[in-house]
Amino acid sequence: MEENAARPPSVQLIVNAPEQMRELGRRLAKLLRAGDLVMLSGELGAGKTTLTRGLGEGLGVRGAVTSPTFVIARVHPSLGDGPPLVHVDAYRLGGGLDEMEDLDLDVSLPESVIVVEWGEGKVEELTDERLQVRIHRAVGDTTDEVREVTVTGLGQRWAAADLSVLAA
């Protein structure tokens, strides 16, 4: 696939509290549709699951969005006519795509929104089109709630996306 000469759309945001991270997830949900892959990266405790909880609220899915660390993947069906949310935590998967293939995410992708925590180096082969969300927090300072969030759209699906709406 040929890369665009232009830089992929990207936005940087400062998030000051967990509720703001959830709200960012709710705003992000408005941009998503079935077939979208969202990769979340950041240190432990950065807010990946909190963001996904907001995504679930924004998508209107059933069930409390909690970290799927021990079940690896959890499906949250839509309560309306939107896509289900497939929430994956790849932290415990060491083998890359082979282990990810066992989850059959490629089967779920066309009709779902798939959010993968700790997916870098593991899920890129699912699709060239994905949203990369990097959450950075000050390491070691557990009292600081400030997060720097960078959202980058990769591939044709996101080429013309206006990610600035996330800064609302």
pTM of the model: 0.86
- pLDDT surpasses 90 at 157: yes
Return the higher-pLDDT residue of 144 and 21. Answer: 21
The H or E element that residue 29 is part of is helix 18-29
Q: How far apart (Å, rounded) are the C-alpha atoms in residues 163 and 44?
A: 25
Measured distance CA(33)–CA(111) in Å, rounded: 9
DSSP annotation string for 121-166: TTSGGG-S-EEEEEEEE-TT-TT---EEEEEEEESGGGTT--GGGG
**Mean pLDDT for the chain?**
85
pLDDT of residue 2: 47
**pLDDT per position as a tens digit, 91-109:** 877 655 565 566 666 666 7
Angstrom distance (rounded) from CA 92 to CA 71: 10
Task: State pLDDT tens for residues 6-22.
Answer: 678 999 999 999 999 99
